Amino acid sequence: MRDIVTLQCVTCKKRNYSTTKNKKKTPARLEIKKFCRACRAHKVHRETR
């Protein structure tokens, strides 16, 4: 049931993280504030498809 998703920085568009999510409970795109090494700051990372 859990699928692997990739998280992409909204600012610089780099794909930095991968995580898992339950698609049945959270059908919308995942948004998490994480550290981006390219921007060197905490930025919003959004799920890519």
**Superfamily of segment(s) 2-48:** Ribosomal protein L33 (2.20.28.120)
C-alpha torsion sign, points 21, 26, 30, 33: negative
Question: How distant, in Å, are the alpha carbons of 2, 4, 22, 23 from that of 36?
Answer: 25, 19, 24, 25
Predicted TM-score (pTM) of this structure: 0.87
User: What confidence category does residue 49 fall into, taking pLDDT thresholds of 50, 70 and 90?
Assistant: confident
**All structural domains of the chain with their residue ranges:** 2-48
pLDDT in tens, 1-43: 899 999 999 999 999 999 999 999 999 999 999 999 999 999 9
